[in-house]
Amino acid sequence: MVKLKMKINCFILFIRLQIYYNNYPSTGNMEEKKKEFRFTKEEIIEFEKLINLSFSDEKRELLQESLTELDNNIQTLRKVELDNAVLPSIQFNPYIHTNIKKDTEIFNPTERSDLKRPENLENLAYASIPELAYYIKFQIISSYELTEMYIKRLKRYDKVLECVITLIEEEALQKAKIADEEILSGNYKGILHGIPYGVKDLLAYPNYKTTWGAVPYQDQELDVKAAVIEKFENAGAILVAKLSLGALAWGDVWFDGVTKTPWNLEEGSSGSSAGSSSATAAGLLAFAIGSETYGSIVSPSTKCGTTGLRPSYGRISRYGAMALSWSMDKLGPICRSVEDCAIVFNTIHGIDKRDPSTIESSFSWDVSKDPSNLRVGYLKTVMDKEYDFKSFDDAVLDKFKELNVELIPVELPDYPVNEMSFILWAEAATAFEHLTNSGDDDLLVRQELHAWPNFFRVARFIPAVEYIKANRLRTSLITAMNDLFNEIDVLISPSFSDALIMTNLSGHPSVVLPTGIRENNVPASITFISNLLNEEELMYVAKLYQDNTKHHIITPQDILDKAINQ
């Protein structure tokens, strides 16, 4: 009976094999089939060099057939068009071993009083959010007047800064009028009510272009309202401009110009939150929203002398934002002070079902809190070496010692983070695969070694196995970073150390702020980093430094006026 069953099973297997070969797309004998294989043995040998492996001829024969099938699968998938907003089913989660804060939230920002109306409203161009809120709340000036003032400055100084892609003038003035009416009737919505702001032009807003800074999308309109803009509308803030970004969120070169830093108009503002940093630094609006994947808040905030918050991954909804890297993109405020960043962050953080990466965690802000007892670390080995900004960074450490804050020397975890950064290239190439497939990547302004068109192509050669291994290393990195923050509360780091890519991979938050002006009349900066979801203590320590140095209150107004009047 057993032998009979075996014979039946063998017969069934034989029939299945016959069906398989009869339905195989090619015809003829096996030698003819081999001729129709998509890849030759010689090509496979060349590919082996890229992945640094070597196979036998027998294995290469098997690969010929399998790679042909794989190629067919890839070609089929390539015909399927996906919107940039479609998320991959693989969800990055840095919070596996993190306690989510559910504390009672306290919001106690600085309260201003006894402020007089200035003779010239442009004297308020660089005012803090608490100051502007006082003027508007008590109707010393109107939101309409403030909005009109900022719009005039945007028009005047954009001629030299090239930081504005779309000015939202008429609608902004109408909404400012409504804000004034609401406040007059006693319906005051809070500290951002009536305050004008701008957003990086990767955030969608209906009836206006969302260009992503790139030629292929310069006329794109999306019938979507970004989640952060919705939250600002609910808070009564006034959107006045969509600001420049380097094409597809890289650098300061966009389809119609190069955005400048207001401190030195011969230099670009860096990127990719180029316009958000430049406009805020120049006093063209009260604050702006930028984004960071790998330095896009830190770098332009450094070059422009602004204060930028890159929150923990998932703290702010990216719904309605251009996707570049689903596991690394983060939105954040770019302001003139740490407290302004805290105020903006308080308004826009929180969970959003439309963005499954978002996380609900409490946040409090209390300016009466004394942060001097927090454990502050610094990267001793890195900061003992010679590098750009060293004298400025040493002065930061000296200031904390002067404030009687004990500094704890620490080191970053030892991980090949620069080598892991191809995670970003792979995700970005997927987000914009149609540009490479169609050849429309030729339309992007920057065509060079370190620009998106080349990196999109390079990403096609990243083996899937290595991509997944890099993400496994990333999990280990997150654990190591959490261990580091068991020793300290906040870390002081040079802005452009390995901590930049490391924390963008791990999802940890940072604040970057100015520390002085360099010889080329461009600002220097320092970065503060904390554990996941610990934005409170992060900003308390950063504010302690900022309050005791005042670098952030110096403005480039004289430089701007000289350029305009020439």
What pLDDT sits at residue 36? 66
Residue found under tokens 């190069």: 258
Is this prediction's pTM over 0.85? yes
What are 459's two structure tokens? Answer: 């990403």
Contact status, residue 318 vs residue 191, Cβ threshold 8 Å: no
Q: Cα–Cα distance between 150 and 333 in angstroms, integer?
A: 18
Contact status, residue 531 vs residue 508, Cβ threshold 8 Å: yes
Contact status, residue 463 vs residue 426, Cβ threshold 8 Å: no
Torsion 143-144-147-148 (CA) sign: negative
DSSP 530: E
What are 394's two structure tokens? Answer: 């040493």
Q: Can the peptide bond before residue 272 be classed as cis, meaning omega within 30 degrees of 0?
A: yes
DSSP 372: G
* C-alpha pair distances (Å), 201 with each of 59, 243, 291, 302, 470: 50, 5, 10, 20, 31
> Which residues fall within 8 angstroms of residue 486, CB to CB, at 6 or more apart?
none
**Nearest residue to 122 (alpha-carbon basis) of 285, 270, 330:** 285
**Nearest residue to 137 (alpha-carbon basis) of 192, 197, 196, 198:** 192
Torsion 348-288-297-384 (CA) sign: negative
Report angle CA 88, 93, 96 to the nearest 5 degrees. Answer: 150
Contact status, residue 39 vs residue 64, Cβ threshold 8 Å: yes
Measured N-to-C along each axis, helices 143-161 and 169-184 cross at an angle, to the nearest 10 degrees, of 150
Contact status, residue 497 vs residue 390, Cβ threshold 8 Å: no
Contact status, residue 166 vs residue 182, Cβ threshold 8 Å: no
What pLDDT sits at residue 146? 98
pLDDT tens, position by position, for the chain (566 residues)? 444 444 444 433 334 333 333 444 444 444 444 446 678 999 999 989 988 999 999 999 899 989 888 888 889 998 999 999 998 988 899 998 888 888 889 999 999 999 999 999 999 999 999 999 999 999 999 999 999 999 999 999 999 999 999 999 999 999 999 999 999 999 999 999 999 999 999 999 999 999 999 999 999 999 999 999 999 999 999 999 999 999 999 999 999 999 999 999 999 999 999 999 999 999 999 999 999 999 999 999 999 999 999 999 999 999 999 999 999 999 999 999 999 999 999 999 999 999 999 999 999 999 999 998 999 999 999 999 999 999 999 999 999 999 999 999 999 999 999 999 999 999 999 999 999 999 999 999 999 999 999 999 999 999 999 999 999 999 999 999 999 999 999 999 999 999 999 999 999 999 999 999 999 999 999 999 999 999 999 999 999 999 999 999 999 999 999 999 98
- Backbone φ, ψ for residue 52 (5° rounding): 60, 45
Give the H or E element holding residue 70. Answer: helix 57-78
The alpha-helical segments, DSSP class H, found in 265-389 are 274-281, 298-304, 338-348, 380-384
What pLDDT sits at residue 566? 84
Contact status, residue 285 vs residue 196, Cβ threshold 8 Å: yes
